[in-house]
Chains A and B, each alone.
Chain A
Amino acid sequence: MTNEEILSKLKEAFPDVAIQVQTEETKDFTLIVPAERLVEVATHLRDHLGFDYLSDVTSVDYPDRFEVVYHLFSMKRGGGVLTLKVHLPDKEHPEVDSVTPIWPGANYQEREVYDLMGISFRNHPDLRRIMLWDGFPGHPLRKDFENRLYTYKELEPTRPKPPNW
């Protein structure tokens, strides 16, 4: 299935959704989907277009928005990546629907995005920090996070103590 076929089939199935193709600045076939329709589009991609395998969930912090990036592949057909993107212009409280109900493999990766980038996922079964501890100040992968050496004295009070660790 070529990229054009995927796009035309998606447009057929969702005539009311503004699905954009990112043409500049990317080496992969990239679709930008409105955040509120992400789950529908993703379910359609999995069930009808054969993109049954979610490889990677990640996020990027741009000055004017957050982007959540999904890399999809087809196990049945093989072939290249389909990048699905969601733009989240709300820098204060970025929130997007979780795709864990569709691909359970997104669970830990969404938790990682939540932990390190501070984007919350609605309907996630177990949204907790994964790498850092509860109470860690800030989200390190955001561009406004101060990248310096944090001392033990500074961080130790934020760390949960037994029995709640």
Chain B
Amino acid sequence: MLKTETITINMGPQHPSTHGVFRMVLTLNGETIVDLKPMFGYLHRGLEKTSESRTYLQAVPFTDRLDYICSMSNNFAYAVAVEKLAGIEVPLRAEYIRVIMAELTRLVNHMLAVGFLFNDLGAWYTPVVYAFRERERILDLFEMASGSRMMCNYIRPGGVAADLPAEFLPQLRKMIPHLENFVREIRFYLSDNEIFKARAVGVGFLPADMAVAYSITGPVLRASGVKYDVRKAEPYSIYDQFEFDVPTQVAGDVYARYLQRLDEMDESLKILRQAVERIPDGEYATKVPSRLRPPKGEAYARIEAPKGELGFYLVSDGSPNPYRWRNRPPSLINLSALREMCLGHKVADVVTILGSIDITLADVDR
């Protein structure tokens, strides 16, 4: 008698497509996925607990290590939260510097996301090396400003750690047209690739209502057609002073997420152009005591990080150490719809779908 049964396989923890240590327990019917269970925690470092025994400023370097590709955005979100909690005013020049850094980080993240998506699809290291080449130029700028390429620790509560060096803005001005050209180049070479389209169009479909119910944020949400961006919905910093659009896609599949990232890079460059023109002179930081004691209270602040909504929930009991230090990671919560996106697809599509969500495992496990 003919009999079929499902088999269970482990994808990961060491699997090249997960970009870290992440395990998915797949239940397969032949090649088709009937169930998927993600397993987390291989990289759990207990940053929330550790931060409770540090001062508010000492916790800034920890935020670098949440999502190590976008360390500037993480600093930014944490600084916004501490400022909301302690009621600190930030000078205008510092806000401009922050916006410049945040948008550069978005460019870095999206070009790597696109590059690694192609890596996962088997375009082994060619697109990603071009992405790395451009990323390297931006990291040079980060190093110029903060002294470090990846663990920048630059945006602090009250402002930024140091003023921009004199060469920074001319260099950035020169680079913006170059980066615009780079985005055009990606579109030209990759968007119409037949193999890519065969693997990406219609794969990993996520409808808009489901995306909202599953708390999906960032490019994945907007690729499903929901026009929601924290920069517009609840403007923080000085984002209400810039002109930019919130691009959305209709399809909600892997291909739409790829296009969405390219569109967002264009918008980031638009913001950068305005910021470089308008950045004023002045102070780069408000003096904040190193043992900052915010008044008793709590605050939740969030920003639009490259991967989605990055929030911090801080509770202060009036002492120099936070009573509760909670980070709302975009990567972990964007994974909550992974199972629904993968059901009915083949094993090879899991790799593509995971790549299109764009997670950093350090941000998932914290």
Contacts and interface: CB of A to CB of B under 8 A. Distances in A.
A11 B312 CA distance: 29
Nearest to A69: B313
A82 to B, nearest CB: 10
B343 to A, nearest CB: 14
Contacts of B50: 147
A27 B313 contact: no
Contacts, number: 107
Interface in B299-324: 299-300, 302, 309, 311, 313, 315, 323-324
A19 interface: no
A131 B324 contact: no
B199 interface: no
A109 B327 CA distance: 11
Given A58-B313, A104-B214, A131-B44, A79 B234 contact: yes
A130 B300 contact: no
A30 B84 CA distance: 15
Interface stretch (A1-9, A35-43, A47-55, A90-98): A47-55
A57 B161 CA distance: 32
A148 to B, nearest CB: 10
B121 interface: no
Given A27-B298, A54-B215, A132-B41, 10 more contacts: A25-B298, A26-B298, A27-B300, A58-B328, A71-B311, A78-B234, A79-B233, A79-B234, A105-B214, A140-B46
Closest CB pairs A-B (n = 5): A105-B215, A78-B233, A27-B299, A131-B41, A131-B44
Interface of B: 40-41, 44, 46, 48-50, 52-53, 84-85, 212-217, 226, 228, 232-234, 296-300, 302, 309, 311, 313, 315, 323-324, 326, 328, 332-333, 335-337, 365-366
